[in-house]
Structure 1
Amino acid sequence: MTLWGHSANYLGKRHSLDDHLRGTGRRAAQNARPFNAGELAHHLGVLHDVGKGACDWQDGLLRAEGTGGRVGIPHKHAGTWLAEQQGLDVFSGVVFGHHGGLPSLSRLKDELDLAEGKLKPQVDEAIDRVSKIVPEILTGPGFPDWIERSEDPMAVDVLVRMVFSAVVDADFLDTAEHFDARPRPVHPVTAADLVGRFEKARQAMLADAPDLPVNALRREVYDQAVTGARGPVGLYRLPSPTGSGKTLSAAGFALHHAAANGLRRVIVAVPFMSITEQNAQVYRGLLDQSGHIPVVLEHHSGIDLDNPTQVVPPAEQWRRLAAENWDSPFVVTTTVRLFESLFSNRPTAVRRLHNISGAVLVLDEVQSLPDHLLLPILSMLRTLTEYFNVTVLLASATQPAYGNLQVMRDLPVHDLIPQPERLYKALNRVRYQWWVSPKPISDQVAARAAAQRQCLVICNTTAQAAELHTLMEQHRAPDDSEVWHLSTRMTSEHRKRHLDEIRKRLTAGDSVRVVSTQLVEAGVDLDFPAVFRAFATAEAMQQAAGRCNRNGHLTEGEVIIFDIDGWEKPTTRIYGPALGVTQEYFGPGRAFPDDITVMDAYYTERFARAGVEAMGATIQDRREKSDFPQVADLFRMIDEHTVPVVVPHSTEDEVQQQECRRLIQQLRVGAQGSADLLRRLRPYIASLPKALVCKHADLTSPVLGDLVEWLGDYRPQRGIELSDSKEYVF
């Protein structure tokens, strides 16, 4: 009798269980080979659906095939029990969790007790029947040699996650091949193949760059990064000042390093979605070629909610499929997406992790990593570099002193810039001014900023930005241009239009004054002669200075650090201990924020005072105890959780408003292809803190998941405004 693994596909052909088990095992072995766990992954892949061999499950499949329903009979216990009997211990959870997620050890024990008790007849029956057609299920595998020698207490945790990823992805792919009746193509290009293409496109892009000192220094940074790329797999740092061409230098290092070390892909992770989109656009221009399969995958929270059922263009279809497992030679994602996947236990999130092995992982704007999660994050990065053939590049103008933390001590670090102090001095294009004692009032700051022909004002909260924007509008001359505003309370299309117009005015030399929240600080390419920055942490102030005289057209730009009386409380709440340490190291009579020697001391004191290594101890303890669900619950990169808010009336075009409302209604009724519908809604989506959305429930209407429709006012100048949101950033 033939045992079946899946019901008939559109050709009327069923998927035999032996083919599925062996196909999954073969793919899992291939996925895990880069970290030398192919044998282990192969065996767990072969075991994952052994429970389907039971008579009840086989009968259930035939019934479901006739009705179009679900089988509804558990099938995970047989393979899980067999793996545990073969000495695979915590790795048996890979089999149990391949649909629902990696379990805790206590949950795994309970399920094994069920397999030994109530479910024993079905377990024995399934193993007996499957072993007759797939006898290799009875022979246990060995463990990778390196896991026995490792002194890293987290090595097992990461290996379980990686093997789970290898098996889950293999199961998805083998099942999809059956139902699609054709194999899914593997991307034919690796990162190493892209070096020549990147260099040619980069040279063409820079051919018309003006002969300015800053461009000569950018070439120097790039050359040093590429020279350092010849080094071995490991941990690297790129301490590159703002405006020094870090985006290109990091990519150049990553591609050349991949070629030198036989690595498969580059993964660039950045802190904010706006930078993800901006960087992905730059990299696509350098690496994607018309008529060829795309190589740059942009993947963030706006892109993978489900699979559209309608026919999509080949390039879009590739992006949708590649996002599932990062099968692309060049991935641009967010740090939230990356690390919440690394610490997740859910199959869809973990599925892509095995493709991090054998990759260059670029963490851009690494200073944005949250202090309370530094211990597990740095521990994870260390394990990846030491045992999973991963190179990690920490890129930042304000390089944190991670090497002074216990978790990173004695780990070799390669600095791509041998003499960063000289580079920072050479690229110093601004003059700092402190306006903190006596503290000005907001009207004084607004008047001084409004008197500038071109300036950028950066505040710590949305309420502060709205206050200064209002005052600057009052101070501007009647015949002068409006004051521009930027925050995530505005829809993405609204912000994009503002940024496009701001850049256009800057290029033309027209008057342009902008008030913004912190969203412009990291990676947004703006170049103002004067920048006003509300007093904040040292790295925030230096990042703000990176928007001043960015391209070196002036001898010196002007950065005014102000501290408005009455703004202390929300600032302290946002920045915590880091703000107090900043006040001790930086300010009048102390250092400027671009002093990297003092910056190193600042980070060391800040991490010590915040108790960084104690803050993540609970997560580390749960990792050692293989409590995967608890780790996933504890690991939250965003403390102040924001939710997407769609605003149909953010556009004055009535046709667009009607289309927006039609898309919203389709989402509400559960129409097929919600990912495509959401992509089409993205221009009309802003962000609000979840607490405010809950508080103003009368002004919102649920759409799908966290997404809500905003029914309240929306101002073209500043987006959504609420009087009780004084302490919220962005």
Structure 2
Amino acid sequence: MSYIAHIRESDGEFQTVEEHLLEVQALAEAFGGKIGVKYIAGLAGVLHDFGKYTDEFKDYILEAVNNPDAPPRRGSVDHSTAGGKLLYRLFHEKNITEFKGKLAEIVGNAIISHHSYLKDFFNADLESDYLKRVCEKELIEFETSKENFFKHVMCEADFLSYVEQAAVELKEFLLKDPSKTSEQKYMFLTKFIFSALIDADRTNTRLFEENKPYEPQENHTLLFDTYYNRLMSKVKSFQQHENANTPINLLRSEMSQQCDHFAEKPSGIYTLSIPTGGGKTLASLRYALKHAKKYNKKHIIYVVPFTTIIEQNAEEVRKILQDEENILEHHSNVIEDADDNDENQDGFMSKIQKLKLAKDNWDSPIIFTTMVQFLNTFYEKGSRNIRRLHNLSESVIIFDEVQKVPIPCVSLFNDALNFLKAYGRSSIVLCTATQPALDFVEHKLAIDADAEMIDRLDHVIDAFKRVEIVDLATDRTFNNEKLTDFIVEKMDELQSMLIILNTKSVVKDLYEKLKEQVMGVPVYHLSTSMCAAHRNDILEKIRNQLKQGNKIICVSTQLIEAGVDVSFECVIRSLAGLDSIAQAAGRCNRHGEMGIRSVYVIDHEEENLNKLKEIQKGKQVAKRTFIDLKRDKYSHGGHILSKDAMDRYFQEFYSEFASDLNYFIPKLKKEMTKLLMEPRNENSYRQAYIHKHNKTKDVQLFILNGYGTAAEHFSVIKNLTTSVIVPYGEGIDIISDLNGNNSIEDLSRLLRKAQQYTVNLFSHEKQLLTENSGLVSLLDGKIIALKEGAYSDEYGVDLQNESGFGDAIF
């Protein structure tokens, strides 16, 4: 009997080890070829399940399938170490050459980690998870695996020739881009290879389980060409509109044309600084589609700061492109897999395994996702996130409201973008009215020369002036009582007002006060305690009220200011960074239909910002700018939202956080950038390791960094959150359906649908809900949902405790 890789649940059909290895190799080669590392990725693919060539594993998988009620202990057979061990023995134990030795480490780490996450080469305690596996772990049937591999998959001569080709690729990769350290190159290449391997392995396993052939990813050039023509038809229809020749609309049209012309330029990192209300979604899409079809890009990816605007932007794009099928929204990870090790679950095809195989790899033509998900793809633990990384290459990536990059992640963000530019063949657009100074920090972003797509920015900003910023923050403070009185007074002369405050607790309190004080005027409340579908339902009601010209008040956290398409007659913004004030102003008189309207900036004394350092510091820097303008009206370009004021603000802001930009890990007293990318003294590490472990022979490693430790300590939002599905609208049916017996295809569909019905809980919120019996566990705890009593149609998550609306904004 042949050696078995998988056994199909539906009909008991075998997939042989050689079939699986060669098919995964082919997929991995295709993924790796996108950045010129076809053979390196293919090497990982062809060796990843090399350890299944043993009688021990064959007995294990047959026993697992034949005795499902009493299966063998999971993890009792190690099949992922063998491929890494083969590379180590052949190219790293003796007569070591530089590039084959490095190849053994990079590919070997990906192979031994493909059921969990990348291992440390060395950690702070001078332990090496990598060496423990490839050097020290004994595999009884290793020679059997090796003999079978060279007999059935690739003869030894062909294998050695293949490794030579991979080593040539590695040399070329490492010689490219001399501005990067070797450690940066090792890290990003290892993660890319790991991504390609994970996706190739899971895709092939899923296709075998579903009994479907592999269909190569379509060339999207024709699709993008169709999309571009549909977009241009929409643009032409705008030009026929009766208001097409107003100054604002003429300027919008001009900026859109500039983006079209800019798309002819080669790929790079560029800025698109269209003011709020200037039509940046369509202008950036016009650039992306034209650039994608000219330079054969595989994906267009929009990255937004908050889940709030994903559905809005995706729906706008769907309508223009007339396509419901090929536009993916990825809000958050519904599945918790950071601590998974699914070694040897091949014979079980449990619901958990089906979750692993569910299609979740960002292979759609157009993708909308969040900054959290983008950063997780590069840096967070767990195989589900990193699986998507290779699909970021050969793409157009548009970062909408890029100024919202979390401060601790600035350097990591810049390094990821620099990799995608230099190696990933991607074109990157930083899209915002308030460009952050990402080239001002230590780990500089490699923005191209003449990067700005829009000409005469100061003129454009002046032309788009629709509001007056009224400073009420430098000489007094407000509490919710005073603020309520102020709002009631202003509403006598206004139809609509938006109030944006910095914390959920004061938002909820003000909302309740206004409901009591303002009679006959609907008051709406928005916060991230609500799922995306819930917030969008409320926003739809708000838009209808605004469209009809009815009196209306909305109280919200900052989630409403990042690209949400609403236009109020007046806005009140609690003092925060200048970028937040500018974004809040973009929700006022959005189309200039009401002349010049007022945006009042206040200092709210009841907001507790102790745990919100970025808002706290931004508030301080902004206040200094307001004071400067009060003293000298010509300072900072003459107004609070000028380009000069914004440049100065971000430089001061990043200077305030200079020691925090590299993701400091308090527990380790070390920055994450150093864990991942700092050069280490090879001799001192090697000698210390040999001494500590009483080694009798020398140990050489080219790569010394701790990938696993870094991922273990990474979280975009420092206070760890858990995604839960909520029983709102269709969420009720999704929770019920996930309890059923689903196919992989069904799970893929449900998980996509669940994106709009999730909320992120902080640990104290999760704990409180647990104590109040408000949570239900699905699929052995891999998915968590709220019980119906724990969700309110008015406030969202209901913890039955006031602390549930604590001072958190995400």
Could you state the TM-score of these two structures normalised by the residue count of structure 1?
A: 0.88
- Closer/same/farther in 2, CA of residues 332 and 323 from structure 1, 3 Å limit: farther
Q: 1:301 aligns with which of 300, 321, 332?
A: 332
Q: Tell me the equivalent position of 1:175.
A: 205
Closer, same or farther: CA 275–302 of 1 in aligned 2, 3 Å = farther
Aligned residue number for residue 220 of structure 1: 254
2:682 is equivalent to residue 629 of structure 1: no
Instruction: Return the offset for 1:599.
Output: 0.8
Is 1:73 the counterpart of 2:77? The answer is: yes
**Partners of 1:486 and 1:515 within 8 A in 2:** yes
Matches of 2:443 and 2:552, distance apart in 1? 46
Q: Is the 8 A contact 2:531 2:796 kept in 1?
A: no
- Do the aligned residues in 2 keep the contact of 1:486 with 1:718 (CA within 8 Å)? no
Unmatched 5+ stretches in structure 2: 92-100, 338-355, 665-669, 678-703, 778-782
Q: 2:172 aligns with which of 143, 146, 167?
A: 146
CA 1:553 to 1:628, structure 2 compared with 1: closer, same or farther past 3 Å?
Answer: same
Task: Report the CA distance between 1:361 and its aligned residue.
Answer: 1.2
How big is each residue's C-alpha offset from its partner over 1:645-695, in whole Å with a ceiling of 9 and x where there is no partner? 6665x78xxxx9xx94x8757767998867766777777765553323424
Q: 1:503 aligns with which of 526, 539, 543?
A: 543
By how many angstroms is 1:324 displaced? 2.1
Aligned partner letter, 1:621? K
Match of 2:39 in 1: 39
1:598 pairs, out of 625, 641, 645, with 645
Q: Which moved more, 1:538-547 or 1:413-422?
A: 413-422
8 Å CA contact 1:192, 1:255 repeated in 2: no
Q: Deviations over 1:513-563 (max 9, x none)?
A: 111111101011000111111111111111000000111112212111112
Q: Please give the per-residue CA displacement for 1:470-510, whole angstroms capped at 9, x wherever unaligned.
A: 3333432x4x2222222223455543332112111111111
Look up the SS of the partner of 1:42 in the other structure. Answer: helix
Q: Aligned letter for 1:348?
A: R
**2:424 aligned with 1:388:** yes
Please name the residue that 2:471 is paired with. Answer: 434
Map of 2:697 onto structure 1: none
Counterparts of 2:330 and 2:796 in 1: how far apart (Å)? Answer: 28
Of 775, 789, 802 in structure 2, the residue corresponding to residue 702 of structure 1 is 775
What is the match of residue 260 of structure 1? Answer: 294
Q: Is the 8 A contact 2:363 2:391 kept in 1?
A: yes
Residue in 1 that maps onto 2:596? 556
Pair 1:199–1:115, CA change in 2 (3 A): closer
For this pair of structures, how many residues does the alignment match?
Answer: 705
Structure 2: distance between partners of 1:642 and 1:50: 37
Deviation at 1:216, TM superposition (A): 2.0
* Equivalent runs, 1:47-66 vs 2, <5 Å: 47-66=47-66
Structure 2 matches for 1:51-450, cutoff 5 A? 51-68=51-68, 69=71, 72-84=76-88, 85-86=90-91, 87=101, 88-106=104-122, 109-110=128-129, 112-113=131-132, 119-136=138-155, 138-139=159-160, 140=163, 141-144=166-169, 145-150=171-176, 151=178, 152-153=180-181, 154-191=184-221, 193-201=223-231, 203-204=233-234, 206-207=237-238, 208=241, 210-211=243-244, 212-289=246-323, 294-301=325-332, 323-408=359-444, 411-413=447-449, 414-436=451-473, 437-450=475-488
> Hey, what does 1:316 align to over in structure 2?
none
* Structure 1 stretches lacking a partner, 5+ long: 307-319
Structure-2 separation of matches of 1:438 and 1:118? 68
SS at match of 1:586: helix
- Shift of residue 245 of structure 1? 0.9
RMSD between aligned residues: 3.2
Q: Secondary structure at the match of 2:787?
A: strand
Q: Which moved more, 1:487-496 or 1:546-555?
A: 487-496
How far does the alpha carbon of each residue in 1:435-466 deviate from its partner, in whole angstroms, 9 at most, with x for none? 12133443333233232321111111122212
Rounded to whole Å, the distance in 2 between the matches of 1:502 and 1:189 is 41
Label 1:60 to 1:469 Cα distance change in 2 as closer, same or farther (>3 A). Answer: closer
Report if the CA contact (8 A) 2:119-2:706 is conserved: yes
Q: Are the aligned partners of 2:334 and 2:755 in contact in 1 as well (CA < 8 Å)? A: no
**In structure 1, what residue type is equivalent to 2:577?**
T
Cα separation, 1, equivalents of 2:336 and 2:381: 17
CA distance in 2, matches of 1:448, 1:214: 32
Q: Give the 3-state SS of the residue equivalent to 2:469 in structure 1.
A: strand
In the superposition, relative to structure 1, how do residues 718 and 457 fare at CA in structure 2: closer, same or farther (>3 Å)?
A: farther
SS state of the match for residue 398, structure 2? strand
SS of the residue aligned with 2:119? coil
Q: Report how far residue 367 of structure 1 moved.
A: 0.8
How far is 1:62 from its partner? 3.2
Task: Please tell me whether residue 523 in structure 1 is matched to residue 603 in structure 2.
Answer: no
After superposition, the Cα gap between the structure-2 partners of 1:448 and 1:374, relative to the gap in structure 1 and judged at 3 Å, is: same
SS in 1 for 2:454: coil
Separation of aligned partners in 2, 1:428 and 1:572: 31
Cα distance in 1 between the residues matched to 2:358 and 2:301: 13
Q: Report the 3-state secondary structure (helix = DSSP H, G, I; strand = E; otherwise coil) of the residue aligned with 2:439.
A: helix
Question: Helix, strand or coil for the counterpart of 2:708?
Answer: helix
Q: Distance in 2 between matches of 1:226 and 1:453?
A: 38
Q: Given that residues 572 and 601 in structure 2 are in contact (C-alpha distance below 8 angstroms), is that contact kept between their aligned partners in structure 1?
A: yes
Alpha-carbon distance between aligned partners in 1 of 2:217 and 2:358, rounded to the nearest angstrom: 9
Task: Tell me how far apart the structure 1 counterparts of residues 386 and 797 of structure 2 sit (CA, whole Å).
Answer: 36
2:656 counterpart residue number = 609
Distance in 1 between the 2:187 and 2:197 partners?
16
Summarize the Cα distance change of 1:577–1:96 in structure 2 as closer, same or farther, 3 Å threshold. Answer: same
Aligned to 1:692: 765
Once residues 170 and 712 of structure 1 are traced to their aligned partners in structure 2, the CA distance between those partners, rounded to angstroms, is 40
| Equivalent residues of 2:503, 2:806 under 8 A apart | yes
- Structure 1 residues 127, 726: CA separation in 2 closer, same or farther (over 3 Å shift)? closer
Distance 1:200 1:559 in 2: 37
Is the contact between residue 83 and residue 111 of structure 2 (CA under 8 Å) also seen in structure 1?
yes
Alignment check: 8 A CA contact 2:412 2:662 kept: no
Pairing 1:473-512 to 2, within 5 Å after superposition: 473-476=515-518, 478=519, 480-490=520-530, 492-512=532-552
Given that residues 7 and 15 in structure 1 are in contact (C-alpha distance below 8 angstroms), is that contact kept between their aligned partners in structure 2?
Answer: yes
> Aligned equivalents of 2:133 and 2:487: distance in 1?
70
Aligned-partner SS, 1:35: coil
3-state SS of paired residue (2:459): helix
What's the % identity of the aligned pairs?
25
What displacement does 1:706 show?
4.8
1:619 aligns with 2:697: no
C-alpha contact 1:90 1:626 (8 A) present in aligned 2: no
CA contact (8 A) 2:522 2:551 kept: no
Q: Which residue of 2 aligns with 1:315?
A: none
Q: Partners of 1:37 and 1:438 in 2: how far apart?
A: 61
The whole-number CA distance in structure 1 between the counterparts of 2:610 and 2:751 is 33
- For the 8 Å contact 1:486–1:495, the answer to whether it is kept is yes
User: Which residue identity is paired with 1:417?
Assistant: I
Against the structure 1 CA distance between its residues 288 and 321, is the aligned structure 2 distance closer, same or farther, given a 3 Å change threshold? farther
